[in-house]
Amino acid sequence: MSYSATRVFLGKIQMQDLAVDVARKDERVTVPFDRETLERVEAMADQEERPVARQITLLVKAALELIDHQGFKLVDGKLRKVSIESVDIDSEE
């Protein structure tokens, strides 16, 4: 009886050791939010029953996809719409 209890205990220790060695799926980034933004994210996370950190990750990924899809680029820390127009240039030759 004490052997099986010891065996279970060792199994828990081994599982904890394995969990430490597992690589994180996403890199951890710390970003300060103002109070209003954090409250909005918390409300969205509660509504969708997700942890706040996961909600923020999903929002950032969605924002990046939208930015790429809409043709925006980050220029000097601000989003700018980038459009390419063809221009006919008449040469005088």
What pLDDT, on a 0 to 100 scale, did the predictor assign at position 1? 41
* Torsion angle (degrees, nearest 10) of CA 76, 77, 78, 80: 50
Under a CB-based contact definition with an 8 Å cutoff, are residues 73 and 80 in contact? yes
What pLDDT, on a 0 to 100 scale, did the predictor assign at position 43? 93
Which among 41, 36, 67 is positioned nearest to 53, based on CA atoms? 41
Q: Which pLDDT tens digit goes with each residue over 5-64?
A: 444 444 444 444 444 555 566 677 777 888 998 899 899 999 989 898 888 888 888 888
pTM: 0.49
Mean pLDDT of 64-77: 83
What pLDDT, on a 0 to 100 scale, did the predictor assign at position 10? 46
> Could you write out the DSSP letters of every residue in 49-91?
T--HHHHHHHHHHHHHHHHHHHTEEEETTEEEE----------
What pLDDT, on a 0 to 100 scale, did the predictor assign at position 66? 83
What pLDDT, on a 0 to 100 scale, did the predictor assign at position 39? 92
